[in-house]
Every structure is written in C-alpha cells, then in structure tokens.
Amino acid sequence: MSRPFPLQPGELRDLHGVQEQHALGASLAAALPQGALLFLEGELGAGKTTLTQGLVGALGFPEPVTSPTYALINAYPTPSGQVLHVDAYRVRDVNELYEMDLEDLITSSRLSVIEWGEGLYQDYPQAPILRLAHVDGQPELRRVTRER
Ligand SMILES: Nc1ncnc2c1ncn2[C@@H]1O[C@H](COP(=O)(O)OP(=O)(O)OP(=O)(O)O)[C@@H](O)[C@H]1O
Ligand SMILES: [Mg+2]
C-alpha cells in the first residue's frame, strides 16, 4: 500500500541537512505509485540530486545518483523497478523528449523524476511539482515547496 504524499499542494518544509533531504526522497518513493511522475525544480545546488538519491536509495538501489545533465535521461534499475531521472534543462522543445519515447518510458518505470520539466506540466496534470531552494544565511538548510 502506498503512503500519503508527504506535502499538500502549497505546503513548504525546511530540510535540515542531507539526511532530511534523503528522508523526503524516501517518503516520496513510498507515496508515489507505479508509473508515477514527479517534477523537481530548483536552482544549482538546491538539492535535486540529493532528493533523487534518497528516493532511489529507498527503492533499494544503493549506487550514487548523479545529475543527468549530460545524459539527459538516466535510468536506475532498482529492485522495485526502474527509476527514470530526466534533466530537461537543455531541452528547447518537449518533442525532443517525446521522440525519445518518454511516455512509454514513464509508464514502464516504477517512477520518474523530471528536473526542469515545465514544458511537460500541462501534459501531466496529475504529477506533483516540488521546488527546492536555498535559504539565505542558512547553508545547512534547504526549503521544499509543493507547487502542485
Ligand atoms: N537539506 C540539505 N541541507 C544541507 N545541504 C544539502 C541539503 N540537501 C543537499 N545538500 C547539499 O547541497 C549540495 C548540492 O546538492 P545537489 O547536488 O543535490 O543539488 P542539485 O539541485 O542537484 O544541484 P545541480 O543543479 O547542480 O545538479 C550537496 O553538497 C548536498 O550535499
Ligand atoms: Mg543535480
């Protein structure tokens, strides 16, 4: 059975350190069903990769997760199924992603995380959007807001 989603739309939460960032990733993995999609936003260093690491780790894939900036799409084979990790930062036209069979990849994955996927928001209205940010003067903190 899946758990409730850890944040309501509009809710924000402070994450104190990498451990809490990983823990949020784990609770997202527990809440999101097979085939689900999650959008992640946030500036450089906001903790997108750290969150994804926690999510993938909770599904039983222990290897380090890296930013898929150069690969565009990374796939992590976890014991619960594949986790797709997409960085759409350099994608100018979402058709580039659809031409890579994005829809089938999402459907067949345990879950998918897309960074900078704003161009896909309308096509996936059920997918939650989380925004990560630094907090001024508090380098050991990140703030997450569920925007949708
Ligand atoms: N909640 C947190 N509190 C303190 N530090 C954190 C937190 N989450 C992540 N960090 C640290 O912030 C740094 C950047 O994190 P991460 O690489 O996950 O960011 P990112 O959003 O993926 O950045 P990029 O856009 O460059 O890929 C790392 O050193 C990580 O350990
Ligand atoms: Mg990253």
pLDDT for the residue numbered 1: 59
Q: What is the mean pLDDT of residues 126-148?
A: 97
The whole-angstrom separation of Cα 17 and Cα 19 is 5
pLDDT tens sequence across 3-62: 899 999 999 999 999 999 999 999 999 999 999 999 999 999 999 999 999 999 999 998
DSSP state at residue 32 = S
For residue 5, which of 128, 141, 137 has the smallest C-alpha distance? Answer: 128
- What is the spatial distance between Cα 109 and Cα 83, in angstroms, rounded to a whole number? 6
Q: Which atom in ligand 1 lies closest to the alpha carbon of residue 142?
A: 1
Q: Tell me which of 18, 19, 21, 50 to substitute to probe ligand 1's pocket, judged by most ligand atoms within 8 Å of the beta carbon.
A: 50
Within the chain, where are the H helices? 17-31, 48-58, 95-98, 102-108
Per-residue pLDDT tens for 54-96? Answer: 999 999 998 788 776 667 899 999 999 999 999 998 898 999 9
Residue 79 Cα to ligand 1 midpoint, Å, equals 25
Q: Can you tell me which atom of ligand 1 is nearest the CA of 20? A: 1
User: Are 51 and 21 in contact, with CB atoms under 8 Å apart?
Assistant: yes
List the domain boundaries for the chain.
12-146
pLDDT one-digit tens code per residue, 89-125: 889 899 999 999 999 999 999 999 999 999 999 999 9
pLDDT of residue 63: 78
Query: Looking at domain 12-146, which CATH architecture does it have?
Result: 3-Layer(aba) Sandwich (3.40)
Torsion angle of C-alpha atoms 42, 43, 47, 52, degrees rounded to 10: 50
Q: What is the pLDDT of residue 68?
A: 67
By the 8 A CB rule, do 50 and 22 touch?
yes
